[in-house]
Chains A and B, each alone.
Chain A
């Protein structure tokens, strides 16, 4: 590496510039640097045979790349998708990817091999510039700024400067305000679910919407429940309502229920609880029959169904809200009204 005169000047300044060393122990008794290790000559440097072999290897690798790319194009056409053959997708993906990989690896390994065997490998030293400008450059820069300040009167004209600050601080605010219509004020949408939309909504199976008779629910069985008519809603309301109204219905042995409210709000041991986790809203979908525990698969919050779904484990803080259920004249399970509290994750104004 040719050292140009600029580099040398900069280098001297590194030594000249007096930086604080802080807590560094600057030793005067340091060993001396022996300098860059002598270059070890490679086989390709001293033997024409090896050099030629290396050159051939590089060329072969590049040729391999050419073959790989051609193979990829070939594979794209000869392995078509076949609706009747499930493995056709896999074969197409595999051979297309294999061909492209070969095309890439050939170039990559070839170039690196070229560099390592045939290009010079003697280490070269280059001087560094000190990052800060030289004193002259810094003085010149300061002068530019001073002139700009003087010519504009930026420091001198306080009124201009302060009103400018004010204007600059305020001009982005409209842009922020413009984003308000990204979403409506949630108002009390988080407090109501479809169960409260009308009286005595039937409990129906998720996802087909067929109603459930109390006699269908055996001890230990679990029903994933949606309010009647939910599956007929238009998108996106269907999912929005489902994200709040989904319920888990379980029949317990009434003697196992330890909570009076829970027994009263249920029907003959059948109880319905919100399926939306009170932690961050995942569906609490796993039921363990012999412990009466409900488990959320996202963060493992566990709720005890025999004790009004109180939290027995995991990061959730509140029990799952219970949905009061009754049986109508035809024997179908119905909910007389909405949940008594907001379902799902907590939010600041939840209790207000």
Chain B
């Protein structure tokens, strides 16, 4: 007690507060445990941070919007300041969106902050996933955290879509119409599911308040829960780091949380917020007053969903003509089901990939050292194929815009997309794999023979050679410190049977690791040095 008093006297307000908190919540232990935690530094680690900070901005701007938004579809006559719509019949949801835009000072700014940060959230989460994928950060012990992150990505899309639909404008109404059509295409339960969602017939007067409770409560609460799990696991595992001198699977090299990362990451929050705010101040997004309130009859050409829904819309567009079938009296809408299967299938593959790769390599060690993408050529190639597949679906959502802007035939653009959907990923796979292997060979070349110096010398017997400068020990380590895997043969188990599982695993291991470049060994390096000295 007397100590505490002295501390207060000595340190003034800060020490007093610290003492107060420690005696009530035990903060000293937390600060001691986490205050000097080490975080590694790399630009690509900031992608996840961008997603996190966009989410915080979403919470802040979204809370502001809830104070003014009226989530009901009760009909009202618009009597606001926006002239062109004066006297028009519309839902209260749409009218209050107009009021937020035109009558609440800063309301339009906050709407635009909210929309831009939603787009950024999904984009940053997606790029963060790609970073994690291409560097192998999903390997043991982080497989579960990959799934948690995957859920966050899906929830981000769900949050985006439910929010997009709230203003009840023409564009979002058409988006809901598409959802209604897709639900109706589900086997057995289609028309019931649609009726349950819309509270009867489409569009009804229920969907906006329902989406609202999902959008402001369920989805953000789930995101928050998964976010806490996601970050908690980062603390448990400690952050991964890229291979380099002094960096091992058994350590983490970087800067301490306090003060460096508090300043850097804390400052970065303000920078991300600033970028969103600046974008919102300058760039209009979703000007709902131009679209009018929802009416099932009109539609504008060139309608586009928010970017992250594009791949699903593209999948719908790329379905071939006339593939609906009937079985007895039942109508099977393959033109709906096939795109759904493709979309869900793609996401499913993303979700389970860590477990598949883990099964193939059979490597049960903990991995904290990130792969450079070139050092896992097959994984990188699979990733490139996946990205390409997604990109074609995504571009598929813009077939009409591509056709009109580039003065091409819509039919040909679509057919091209349909072909590309199958051809482009295969092409991307092979090109990427060859590129990775070539880059690995180039790394070997640098390690064994050094960098080209650009200096040509003439040897006494007349031969011209370019002098190579040897890479330093740090670079050599960076280029040689990676894990190598070799394919396996299908071996009989203890009963003497070669199981199908073993065969599949062997085949996959061959696909993954048959073509590979080994890291330079000490013997090779010594031999190369010896050879170099002979010159």
Q: Identify the A interface with B (CB < 8 A).
A: 1-2, 11, 14-15, 19-25, 27, 29-37, 76, 80-81, 83, 89, 92-98, 100-102, 104-105, 107-112, 114-116, 119-121, 123-131, 179-180, 182-186, 189-190, 206-207, 224, 226, 235-236, 239-240, 242-244, 246, 275-277, 279-283, 285-286, 297-300, 311-318, 344-352
Which of these, B112, B203, B269, B363, contacts A239 with CB under 8 Å?
A: B203
A297 to B378, CA, bound (A): 40
Q: Which residues of chain A are within 8 angstroms of B117 by Cβ–Cβ distance?
A: none
How far, in Å, is B450 (CB) from chain A's closest CB? 15
Q: Which residues of chain A are within 8 angstroms of B192 by Cβ–Cβ distance?
A: 183, 185-186
How far, in Å, is A185 (CB) from chain B's closest CB? 7
- If A104-B273, A128-B368 are given as contacts, then 17 extra A-B residue pairs at C-beta distance below 8 Å, sorted by A number, are A19-B365, A22-B361, A22-B485, A31-B520, A34-B245, A34-B477, A81-B103, A101-B278, A112-B271, A183-B197, A207-B295, A240-B204, A282-B177, A285-B298, A313-B411, A315-B319, A348-B188
Knowing A128-B250, A235-B205 are in contact, say whether A297-B277 is a contact too (CB < 8 A).
Answer: no
How far, in Å, is A194 (CB) from chain B's closest CB? 12
- Assess whether B108 is in contact with A242, with CB atoms less than 8 Å apart: no
Q: Which residues of chain B are within 8 angstroms of A190 by Cβ–Cβ distance?
A: 184, 191
Q: Which residues of chain B are within 8 angstroms of A299 by Cβ–Cβ distance?
A: 313, 316-317
- Assess whether B486 is in contact with A23, with CB atoms less than 8 Å apart: yes
Q: Which residues of chain B are within 8 angstroms of A35 by Cβ–Cβ distance?
A: 245-246
- Assess whether B322 is in contact with A317, with CB atoms less than 8 Å apart: yes
Q: Which residues of chain A are within 8 angstroms of B443 by Cβ–Cβ distance?
A: none
Instruction: Decide yes or no whether B26 CB sits under 8 A from chain A.
Output: no
- Assess whether B329 is in contact with A25, with CB atoms less than 8 Å apart: no
Residues of chain B in range 189-216 having any CB-CB distance to chain A below 8 Å: 189-192, 194-206
How far, in Å, is B521 (CB) from chain A's closest CB? 4
Which stretch (B7-15, B153-161, B299-307, B342-350) binds chain A? Answer: B299-307
How many A-B pairs have beta carbons closer than 8 Å: the answer is 393
Nearest A residue to B176, CB-CB: A281
Nearest A residue to B251, CB-CB: A125
What secondary structure prevails in chain B residues at the interface with A?
mixed
Chain B: interface size category: 35 or more
Can you list the 6 inter-chain pairs with the closest CB atoms, starting with the nearest? A97-B281, A280-B181, A22-B362, A111-B267, A108-B270, A36-B246
- Assess whether A97 is in contact with B282, with CB atoms less than 8 Å apart: yes
Which stretch (B16-24, B127-135, B253-261, B458-466) binds chain A? Answer: B253-261
Instruction: Decide yes or no whether B518 CB sits under 8 A from chain A.
Output: yes
Q: Which residues of chain A are within 8 angstroms of B87 by Cβ–Cβ distance?
A: none
How far, in Å, is B59 (CB) from chain A's closest CB? 16
- Assess whether A348 is in contact with B187, with CB atoms less than 8 Å apart: yes
Knowing A22-B362, A105-B271, A300-B399 are in contact, say whether A281-B205 is a contact too (CB < 8 A).
Answer: no
Which of these, B180, B335, B361, contacts A24 with CB under 8 Å?
A: B361
Nearest A residue to B179, CB-CB: A280
A31 to B521, CA, bound (A): 6
Highest count of chain B CB atoms <10 Å: which of A83, A97, A283, A300: A97
Q: Which residues of chain B are within 8 angstroms of A81 by Cβ–Cβ distance?
A: 81, 102-103, 105
Instruction: Decide yes or no whether B136 CB sits under 8 A from chain A.
Output: no
- Assess whether B299 is in contact with A298, with CB atoms less than 8 Å apart: yes
- Assess whether B191 is in contact with A186, with CB atoms less than 8 Å apart: yes
How far, in Å, is A82 (CB) from chain B's closest CB? 9
Q: Which residues of chain A are within 8 angstroms of B274 by Cβ–Cβ distance?
A: 101-102, 104-105, 108
How far, in Å, is B76 (CB) from chain A's closest CB? 10
How far, in Å, is B49 (CB) from chain A's closest CB? 12
- Assess whether A297 is in contact with B299, with CB atoms less than 8 Å apart: yes
Which of these, A36, A186, A276, A300, contacts B317 with CB under 8 Å?
A: A300
Instruction: Decide yes or no whether B73 CB sits under 8 A from chain A.
Output: yes
How far, in Å, is A312 (CB) from chain B's closest CB? 8
- Assess whether B480 is in contact with A31, with CB atoms less than 8 Å apart: yes
Residues of chain B in range 318-342 having any CB-CB distance to chain A below 8 Å: 318-324, 326, 329-333, 335-336, 339
A327 to B254, CA, bound (A): 83
Instruction: Decide yes or no whether B50 CB sits under 8 A from chain A.
Output: no
- Assess whether B271 is in contact with A183, with CB atoms less than 8 Å apart: no
Q: Which residues of chain B are within 8 angstroms of A346 by Cβ–Cβ distance?
A: 184-185, 324, 331, 333, 336
